[in-house]
Structure formats: structure tokens, C-alpha cells
Amino acid sequence: MYDRHPISAEQILARLTKARGSLDSLQAADLFDHDQDHYGGLAANDEIARCAKLRTGMNVVDFCAGLGGPARYLAHAYGVHVTGIDLNANRVEGARDLTLRVGLSDRVTMIEGDVTAVPLADASADVVVSQEALLHVPDKGRALAEASRLLVTGGRLVFTDWVMHGAIAAADADLLWRGLAAQSLQSISGYGDLIAVAGLQLEMCDDLTVTWGDILQTRFAMYKALADERRAAGMAPGEDEFYNAYSALVRLVETGYLGGCRFCAVK
Ligand SMILES: C[S@@+](CC[C@H](N)C(=O)[O-])C[C@H]1O[C@@H](n2cnc3c(N)ncnc32)[C@H](O)[C@@H]1O
């Protein structure tokens, strides 16, 4: 699905070239309006950093890091080292390219891999973060167990994800799977149980449903505009299934079945 996603490194660079005339002397901050593939942009990263109690020099692992937007922002704004892991080879390649272009390769490393089998050592991270991505992972308990394994004692896992507030119809679950690769969605309490089983203590859980509901409408409009932009640039506009699923998402949030939550847990 992410090979056909409306946001890509290629599309970000095309936009920046158009806006700046060239890609010379690109700074990390030039990317921040374009490379954050989650709701709430940089403010959401700052909330994650606050909950994680980030301090300069910490080692952070970003699960499902995408194009590396949050990883670069945390390295740039908080002076941490971030290892981003993503399953999609094009995402990893795009993230590396963007990171190199803004001179952050010494502090942001991207690895291609699965968050349910992370190729990093036990107790090698002070903090594990993840934003709006575990919805794609079939075995969320396994991903949380991996986060727990990577953390030092006292380290924190802070993540946001879509959650179910009520059982959704099989037809809607199918739409979300086919268009957004969303699967085995959890309730807030279901995530609480998985966090405990992973050996972590839940410190905080903030229901973000209202905030995300507002953002969702704008985001949907942006995706439609991006599809038009891609068409005009001669690229494939993306899949109808993506837009159908996004439209279902808007409806399910409006009717109270789906929402978002930020979890913070300590080892
Ligand atoms: C919505 S994007 C979020 C990107 C990033 N967290 C951000 O906020 O910009 C979700 C990412 O999860 C990745 N992903 C999905 N399943 C994964 C898995 N099992 N292991 C690692 N990455 C995965 C996808 O390739 C995609 O890049």
C-alpha cells in the first residue's frame, strides 16, 4: 500500500523544487511541512517527546518510521539519536535520501525491517515511539513485546494508533483492510492488556478521537488534492480503494466507532 501512497519522497522533492527553485542547501525544517505522515504534525511529535521525557543524547527507536519525518524532527529539535524501522523498502530508501539531503545522517539511521522482529539488541533504546502505524501490524502484542525488549529499565514506549470504540461491521473492516491495510484494530482497554502482557506499565492514555476527527476532514481533502497533483505530474494518482477506505474512516469516526489514542508506558 505504501508504494502507492499519495505522500512519497519523490513527491515531496518535486514540491520543494517547485517552491524553492532548486534542492540546494536543503535544511531539515524545509521538510517538516511535508514529511510527517500522521495527524497533528510537529505538535504531535512534541507531545510524544514530552510523554517520553526525551533528553539530548537519548537513543530512540521509531517503529514504522515511514519517510523518517518524525525521526528527523526529534533528532533536530531534541538532539536525540533515532533509529527508524520500516517494512517498506521504498519508504526506507526515501527516508535515507531525505535525511542525507538535510545533513542528519549522523543522527538518524533507517533500517528496513518488521517491528515484530526488530534487528536491534536488547536494552539498546531509552525510548521507543510510533505514530499511527501499528494499525497495519497483525500481531500488535508481538510489536509491543519487541518494544519492551529494546527498552532499558525505566525507558518509555509512547505511541499513537487508531482504536475501536465499538465493534465495526465486517464490510467496513474489509474496506479498511483493502484500502488502508488496517487490521486487528484494538480497543483502548485491549491495548492496555497487550501493554501489560509485554511487561510494561501503562502511565498515561489520552483519547485523541475528537482532535483526530477534526483533522481527518482536512487530511481527506489534502489526499484528494495530492491525487490531482500526481495526475498533473504524470504519476499514478493512487488507488480508488485508498479513497474509499478513507471515506469509511471519516464516517466511522463521525459515528463514534473509531478514534485515536496516545499511550505512554514505562518499563
Ligand atoms: C502512516 S505511516 C506512519 C509513518 C510515520 N510514523 C510518520 O508519522 O510519519 C505507517 C508506516 O508503517 C509501516 N509499517 C507497516 N507495517 C510495518 C511493520 N510490520 N514493521 C515496520 N513498519 C511497518 C509502513 O510501511 C508505513 O511506512
On whether the CB atoms of residues 67 and 88 are closer than 8 A, the answer is no
38 lines ligand 1 (CB under 6 A): yes
**150: which 3 cell numbers?**
529494546
CA dihedral sign of residues 119, 187, 38, 89:
positive
**127: which 3 cell numbers?**
525510548
Model pLDDT, residue 131: 98
What is the residue whose three cell numbers read 510527517?
Answer: 36
82 lines ligand 1 (CB under 6 A): no
114 lines ligand 1 (CB under 6 A): yes
On whether the CB atoms of residues 168 and 252 are closer than 8 A, the answer is yes
| Helix, strand, or coil (residue 117) | strand
Return the best residue to mutate from 46, 87, 98, 216 for the ligand 1 pocket (most ligand atoms within 8 A of CB).
87
What pTM was computed for the model?
A: 0.93
Q: Give which of 35, 142, 46 is closest to 95, Cα–Cα.
A: 35
Query: Torsion angle of alpha carbons 38, 146, 199, 141, nearest 10°?
Result: 70
Instruction: Tell me the residue type at 260.
Output: G
Model pLDDT, residue 238: 58
Atom of ligand 1 nearest to the CA of 116: 19
Burial of 260 per CB tally in 10 Å (0-12, 13-18, 19+): buried
By residue count, the chain amounts to 267
Q: Nearest residue CA, atom 26 of ligand 1? A: 66
Per-position pLDDT tens, the chain of length 267? 888 777 899 999 999 999 999 999 999 999 999 999 999 999 999 999 999 999 999 999 999 999 999 999 999 999 999 999 999 999 999 999 999 999 999 999 999 999 999 999 999 999 999 999 999 999 999 999 999 999 999 999 999 999 999 999 999 999 999 989 999 999 999 999 999 999 999 999 999 999 999 898 888 887 778 777 777 777 665 567 888 888 899 999 999 999 999 999 999
Q: Nearest residue CA, atom 19 of ligand 1? A: 114
Q: Nearest residue CA, atom 12 of ligand 1? A: 64
